[in-house]
Amino acid sequence: MRYPDFYLWMVVLSIMAGPSFGESAYRVIEVEKGGEIAGSVKLLGKFPAPRKLIVARDQAVCGQSQRAEDFIVDPKSKGLKNVVITIQDIAAGKSFAATTAPVISQVHCVYLPHVQVFQPQTKLTIRNNDQVLHNIHAYAGEQVLFNIAQPSYVKKWPVRLLSTSEVINVQCDMHEWMSAYLIPVEHPYAAVTDESGGFSMDQAAVSG
């Protein structure tokens, strides 16, 4: 499995929506008077200082160093970034059309966002905002999903994701510190915590 240290730290929190619905597929229904689920994920106790990664190439674009993104805690709020929040055991709810298709942007040799959720069989768009060559290498476990070079003049590259139930790890073969993660979800009721550890899911009306 090609998961660096980050994957050991990433936690997926589940909010129970009701009793188990077995193997039934998620059904799209019209959602009326949907509400919002919001909260924050905080780390109790001490936490390590952010690690700095040395940049060995393309320093004019990438900088002299980069912040490691495997474990990011807001020193003020104690909020933990990049935690995936999802609601468990939903039989029916809003359409995936209400969510945004996944996009990865390469900015100063960093993948943004570092973590996001996606529905399988949707298109992933990869943007190159840097004036350097990147090579995007995506894995689902040991399976290579795609391996493409993206020169600086190719600003937008749509890639169709394969149907997979595994976490997708995206790496850059040109800049080894670059990494991103896409988490497959069965329904659109999911969120990723921000810099302060906060998250929200709107129109969160679900049905059994």
* pLDDT recorded at residue 18: 45
Q: Is the pLDDT of residue 8 over 80?
A: no
Q: Give the number of residues written for the chain.
A: 208
* pLDDT recorded at residue 104: 96
Quick one: which of 50, 51, 195 has its CA closest to 114?
195
| CATH assignment of 5-19+37-201, among 3.40.190.10, 3.40.640.10, 2.60.40.420, 1.10.260.40 | 2.60.40.420
Going from N- to C-terminal start, the domains of the chain cover 5-19+37-201
* pLDDT recorded at residue 179: 95
CB atoms within 10 A of CB 158: 10
Global pTM reads: 0.84
Q: Beta strand pairing status for 179-184 and 168-172?
A: antiparallel
